[in-house]
Structure 1
């Protein structure tokens, strides 16, 4: 895992980080008025009958999802995935597609392939490439697709959403063709810093944030830590996949890196975090941990101040794992 390069003098001169709104991606979402959504302090959440998902499905949160897609694509070397697919896929499944942006990009990249995106929330745009379709489907239930029907199955950022990751990977193993690939890219809720006063402070907001959300995930029975400790790699192997590869990436929050690419990635990552912090916290802290609304806002404000401080060089680790189903 490569270190993030930085220039101490440049950071000292930079002040508090910000980002240009013009660089943030956006997506058109379906009108919320025709769907059954819950409202929590002005934010809308999907009212699924089978899965209670922590993230809002409103325009602000969706904007954050699209921004994260942009910097993850940059992080992967301007690629949509890392699995070493030798032959262009003919049928691809994107599990938990969110705004559908990855599926749409895949449909543009592979116009002869059918790209299927699934989600519990109908927030995908109406105008999409003709080879891209979206289904409302809960990945935690039994999948409705026939065995061995996809060349490639893609998962991203389902942390805190799945109660049985072993079963999820088993369903992917059943549904992917022999020789096909599964790839899962997951985020980490723990922000870090190599600056001693942050790294060595057990009460720093980064530590308290990770602790309370880890507990919230456990209370929901849906871990937020699936990307840590080699869990994805282990569970994919247990499901029957081979050639399992795990890659970990340090991603800065903000433009503090001296590397031009990492500086840009960091700027978009900070934009993603700024857009997403409240949505991430509101359901889990208020509904699961029973915090007061004002308490949640103060906590989010403290976290937002820390991730915007380039002098402490904040970053987190993202994990990507891809694996192949054996040939018959």
Structure 2
């Protein structure tokens, strides 16, 4: 498969790229990925991007991105955004680095048509391989990807193949275990706040496991990168992201508000997945409304844990 114009350009009729499932629109390329591909999901992708910019103190990344790109000897350097979603991150990077060739790939054509001249979007099922030659990219970014990947170590080997020696990878994966009043909770606590919230996440993890997704990937990013034997200078940064309006300092409050807005869209987005895995309409309604109650009227401080790892490909 060549990365030619017909891959990246979608005409007015995009019906072959989408399917309907329980009243939401989904990609047709990979049936394993059961999050919608529609306007609400684009909105959620953009909210998550803004939230991460707050986490990164106004930047689009952490790590030695500028240093790595400055060492590129050719006039043009190449950046790959895996699972680009709404394309917001790729567009921001293309604006920041006008010399960069920025390519965003995704399962569905959700990205805007009007983009910087150095930014391209292509359709690609990452699990089938990424159609670029060895060592093509200088920087690869992958955010919130693992819930659609059945073999994450294979994805890391593919990233290693695509990166030039000395090139940089940045991986960002939130845990799937909610934090209630500062503690990770896997089972709904009896008599404590956040019980419905915890049950919702437990159901989500069970559905992903049935789809052969390794739900422990976020906690294992460092070990997985090490196991490939291809990476060095592995740096992990992690921390808790507040959910909602409880933080006192303005910066954390902004992060919490954006994460709250993200989750407000995320809860109903899982309805098709739950129904697909055999839950009844009543069970799904109860799960979502219960989680919404804990989100809208919290009696506990909710957070999520995020894992951020960057590494260089060995020279």
Report TM bin, short chain.
0.7 to 0.9
Q: Does residue 43 of structure 2 align to residue 43 of structure 1? A: no
State which of 172, 193, 197 in structure 2 corresponds to 1:206: 197
In structure 2, do the counterparts of structure 1 residues 208 and 126 end up closer, same or farther at CA, with 3 Å as the change threshold?
Answer: same
State which of 215, 224, 230 in structure 2 corresponds to 1:235: 224
User: Is the partner of 1:71 in helix, strand or coil?
Assistant: helix
Query: 2:17–2:109: 8 Å Cα contact kept in structure 1?
Result: no
CA distance in 2, matches of 1:83, 1:75: 13
* Cross-structure match for 2:123: 136
Q: What is the CA-CA distance between 1:298 and the residue it aligns to? A: 1.9
1:299-324 CA distance string (max 9 Å, x none):
11111111233541111101111111
1:112-146 CA distance string (max 9 Å, x none):
11000011111111000000001111111122111
Query: 1:152–1:182: 8 Å Cα contact kept in structure 2?
Result: yes
* Cross-structure match for 2:48: 68
Q: Does residue 210 of structure 2 align to residue 223 of structure 1? A: no
Query: 1:242–1:324: 8 Å Cα contact kept in structure 2?
Result: yes
Q: What is the CA-CA distance between 1:283 and the residue it aligns to? A: 3.0
Q: What is the CA-CA distance between 1:254 and the residue it aligns to? A: 0.8
Higher relative contact order (CA 8 A, sep 6+): 1
| 4+ aligned runs moved over 6 Å, structure 1 | 29-32
1:193-240 CA distance string (max 9 Å, x none):
1279x8995352233223222221111011233112xx1111111112
Q: Does residue 181 of structure 2 align to residue 194 of structure 1? A: yes
1:69-112 CA distance string (max 9 Å, x none):
10011111111111213143611001111111100000000011
CA distance in 2, matches of 1:140, 1:213: 21
Q: What is the CA-CA distance between 1:33 and the residue it aligns to? A: 5.4
Q: Does residue 151 of structure 2 align to residue 164 of structure 1? A: yes
Query: 1:159–1:187: 8 Å Cα contact kept in structure 2?
Result: no
State which of 268, 286, 293 in structure 2 corresponds to 1:298: 286
Query: 1:88–1:110: 8 Å Cα contact kept in structure 2?
Result: no
TM value normalised by structure 2: 0.87
TM value normalised by structure 1: 0.84
* Cross-structure match for 2:234: 244
Q: Where do 5+ consecutive residues of structure 2 fail to align?
A: 1-9, 71-76
Number of residue-to-residue matches in the alignment: 293
Q: Where do 5+ consecutive residues of structure 1 fail to align?
A: 1-28
Q: Does residue 270 of structure 2 align to residue 321 of structure 1? A: no
Q: What's the C-alpha RMSD, in Å, of the aligned pairs?
A: 2.1
* Cross-structure match for 2:74: none
In structure 2, do the counterparts of structure 1 residues 298 and 30 end up closer, same or farther at CA, with 3 Å as the change threshold?
Answer: farther
CA distance in 1, matches of 2:150, 2:186: 31
Query: 2:37–2:108: 8 Å Cα contact kept in structure 1?
Result: yes
CA distance in 1, matches of 2:301, 2:13: 38
* 1:81-96 matched pairs, under 5 angstroms: 81-85=61-65, 86-88=67-69, 90-96=77-83
